[in-house]
Chain A
Amino acid sequence: MNTGILALQDAGFILGSYAITFAVIGAFTWRVLRDGRRLAERIDDDDKYWT
C-alpha cells in the first residue's frame, strides 16, 4: 500500500514534523557556522587546532 506523497493522509501533521525538524536543524547549523566565522576572524590560525 504505497500511497505516495500526493495521497498522504493527515499531511499537515506529517509534513509539519519534517518541516519543524529541518527548520530546527537549519537554525542550529546556521548559528554554529555564524559563531564559527565570527570568532575565527579574531583568532590566528596557529591557535586553531584544526588548521
Chain B
Amino acid sequence: MTLERRDRRLYYYRSVREGEKVRKVYVGAGEIARISHEGDILRRTEREAQRKREKAELERLETLAAPVLELSEAAEVLARAHLIAAGYHRHNGEYRRARRA
C-alpha cells in the first residue's frame, strides 16, 4: 500500500496480488486516501497481533501435548517389547503367537 503526494494532494493505492503479479489499485485521493490508509494500517496491525497470539497459543498447546507423547512412546515401546519377549509377533497390527522353528 502506498500513500503518494502529488501537487500537494494525497493519493492512495493498494497492492493487490493476482497470481504471481502484484497490481497497484487506486483507492482515492485527499481525505479518503488518508482515512483508507490509516484503516489499512490498523487492520494490518490487528492481523499481525492475531498471528502472534495464535502462534503463542499453538506453542503452548504443543508444550502441553509433549509429555503425553513422551509417555505414549515409552508405553508403546515397552508394551511391544513385553509382547515380543513373551513369544508374540505382529501381523497386520495384531499380535500372534510366533511359530517355533
A binds B: no
Spell out A's residues near B (CB within 8 Å): none
Chain B: residues with CB nearer than 8 A to chain A?
none
